[in-house]
Chain A
């Protein structure tokens, strides 16, 4: 059965089969009748202190007790030492903007947000963090500017995340 077959009434076909016609080419497409919605559960038990302290407004990194390596994102296993004895340390949040972008075309699951700036900042402890940079005026953003990582509530979902804001002068 081809789209060129003028003898076939497309409307009749549409009623009896899950067929749609491509807008650009008019070619027939089978509209999948089996829908899969994916939503993962991600294990965070080993790094749970990070989330407990986030609720207190603190942002933590991990420091290996043996070699002193600092890990952000936090990880409880040091691959250098092959050991897992670590300290949780609170980050100052103070840092500098290293690079950024303004996202205009968003992933589908982010389509309900206004355009957002994603930044990579280098904190004074030496680790870098990727997060949104909340600013009133995008034109005032510049590489090297002082920024601060803070805990904030993400709306409309109402859950805690961290984000950068311009540091007080």
Chain B
């Protein structure tokens, strides 16, 4: 049975500068995004009926940050929930706000993603991130890091398909290239293959420049029902699908280290709901944000999302097919790699970026040509423990 859902439009987006934001507290940082989104939508706090927040915390002092953010931002007494699905918590917040509108529970809702990772030092940040895997059977005795978990995939993938460390480096070079045009990126600067290849190993075979940084940042998206959206904007962006899936906590229980099964399942569901041909999705899509927490993750995502066949993702990197003008432009924001990866903010940040891409509002050097009016966001929690695939469109469902 297909439950009839109401159409959900994006009517406003906001985004803080990502980076090492020691100049702001968590509520101050989140307000940067909230203010921009309210201004963008042309509404006030009073109009918002429901707020969701993607945030992990632990590295930040406020244990239950929701009320502190709402109070600071003039959003008390709005209904609120905080959600956690590791690095895809932002997409979980988007799904919660989407469902509030789609179900008829609210007419205007706001999804927030916010993370202040630099309230602890880097060794503690690395430790907390590492604990996102299975705590007792993986972390307690064997001390994997998050880079280490993705290194399992890099080792197996390179061995099976013959991809090289240089192929991985090309992802970092591309994402830094586009970040250099994104003033809100953590690292808005270009790098070379030599920079990437010369960086030290963090968890072999992954090097420093294969890794996204520890970032602070916030993002906000305001959603509205069709009736309200028509009053607020002439160019709404519609959610055509937001679908999720999960994979095992223990890496020892994964089917292999070549693919993220939860990405495949979430993509299949999202393509079906949005009416996109799963055998050739790129023919429908103008621009994509994928979860490149580590360079290998972007390459595997190309395959799991069906852009190329299994084992050919690295060729897209090698042949530079994911720049503007290639097969499909990916991570024109700079990606997690260079835009930054404030864990809970990332999923919301992807929706901000793709909304502006579809509305042709980003810096011209990194604006994708918009022909089909469709964009895809791929957000992974952990190494696929949780995955969301979201399809946005300029045309109404």
Once bound together, how far apart are the Cα atoms of A132 and B124, in whole Å? 22
Contacts of B139 in A (CB 8 A): 107
Q: A105-B147, A111-B123 are in contact. List 13 more A-B contacts (CB 8 A).
A: A24-B20, A32-B61, A73-B136, A99-B159, A99-B257, A101-B205, A103-B145, A104-B202, A104-B204, A105-B126, A107-B131, A108-B126, A143-B156
Closest chain-B Cβ to A31's Cβ sits at a distance in Å of: 11
Q: A100-B155, A131-B142 are in contact. Are A105 and B203 (CB under 8 A)?
A: yes
Once bound together, how far apart are the Cα atoms of A79 and B161, in whole Å? 36
How many residues on chain A are close to B (CB under 8 Å)? 36
B80 at the interface (CB under 8 A from A): no
11 residue pairs from A and B, CB less than 8 Å apart: A24-B20, A73-B252, A99-B257, A103-B148, A107-B126, A107-B127, A107-B143, A108-B124, A109-B127, A130-B144, A131-B142
Q: Which residues on A are within 8 Å of B, measured CB to CB? A: 22, 24-25, 27, 29, 32, 42, 72-73, 98-111, 113, 116, 118, 120, 127-132, 143, 154, 161
B252 and A120: CB pair below 8 A? Answer: yes
Once bound together, how far apart are the Cα atoms of A111 and B126, in whole Å? 11
Q: A120-B252, A130-B250, A130-B251 are in contact. Are A103 and B141 (CB under 8 A)?
A: no
Once bound together, how far apart are the Cα atoms of A102 and B154, in whole Å? 12
B155 and A42: CB pair below 8 A? Answer: no
Q: Which residues on B are within 8 Å of A, measured CB to CB? A: 20, 22-23, 61, 123-124, 126-127, 130-131, 136-139, 141-145, 147-148, 151-156, 159, 200-206, 250-253, 257
A128 and B204: CB pair below 8 A? Answer: no
B136 and A42: CB pair below 8 A? Answer: yes
Residue of A nearest to B154 (CB): A101
B152 and A127: CB pair below 8 A? Answer: no
Q: A73-B250, A108-B124, A118-B142 are in contact. Are A99 and B156 (CB under 8 A)?
A: yes
Of B23, B156, B204, the contact of A27 (CB 8 Å cutoff): B23
Contacts of B159 in A (CB 8 A): 99, 143
A161 and B141: CB pair below 8 A? Answer: yes
Q: A107-B130, A113-B143 are in contact. Are A130 and B252 (CB under 8 A)?
A: yes
Once bound together, how far apart are the Cα atoms of A130 and B202, in whole Å? 19
Residue of B nearest to A71 (CB): B253
